[in-house]
Amino acid sequence: MPKGKSFSGEFKQRVVEDMRANKLSFREAAQKYNLPSHERIRQWERTYLTEGAAGLYVDYRGHKSTGRPAKLPKQVEEDLLAENQRLRMEIDYLKKLNALVSKEEQQNRKRK
């Protein structure tokens, strides 16, 4: 049997459920279904117990995500930078306004 051969979710489920129903060991199940390794059935059973039968139908092969987000399109990046700049200007304006208001309040307190 070639390395990396994939099996359908239906086949995996049948093997695991047959093994559990007939109290077969991993080795006995591998021999019954002509599988070269009992370790594969062990993995299927672990998946069956943790994720249920639906977990056997998911194909986990292929490249995993690196965890890094995909690059944004150029226009989106430019829009975000422009919005960031606008928000910084707004914050600066509000800080200055707040400083003027508090200065005016201090002067009003001194007059009284």
Residue 28 — pLDDT band, cuts 50, 70, 90? very high
Say yes or no to pLDDT of 91 above 70. Answer: yes
Query: Measured between alpha carbons, how far is 96 from 112 in angstroms, rounded to an integer?
Result: 25
Q: Are 75 and 51 members of one domain?
A: no
Instruction: Please give the helix or strand (H or E) that residue 96 lies within, else none.
Output: helix 74-111
Q: Are residues 77 and 110 in the same domain?
A: yes
Same domain, 44 and 76: no
Question: What does the pLDDT average to over 29-49?
Answer: 90
Pair (51, 75) in one structural domain? no
> Looking at the structure, do residues 24 and 53 belong to the same domain, yes or no?
yes
Structural domains counted in the chain:
2
Residues 18 and 52 in one domain: yes
Residue partners of 33: CB distance under 8 A and separation at least 6: 15
In a domain, 111, yes or no: yes
Mean model confidence pLDDT for the chain: 87
**24 burial type by CB count under 10 A (0-12 exposed, 13-18 middle, 19+ buried):** middle
In a domain, 48, yes or no: yes
pTM score: 0.51
Closest alpha carbon to 18 in 7, 29, 8: 29
- Give the structural domain span for 77: 71-112
User: Is 63 within a domain?
Assistant: no
The sign of the torsion formed by the CA atoms of 45, 46, 52, 58 equals negative
Q: Which residue has the tokens 């059973």?
A: 45
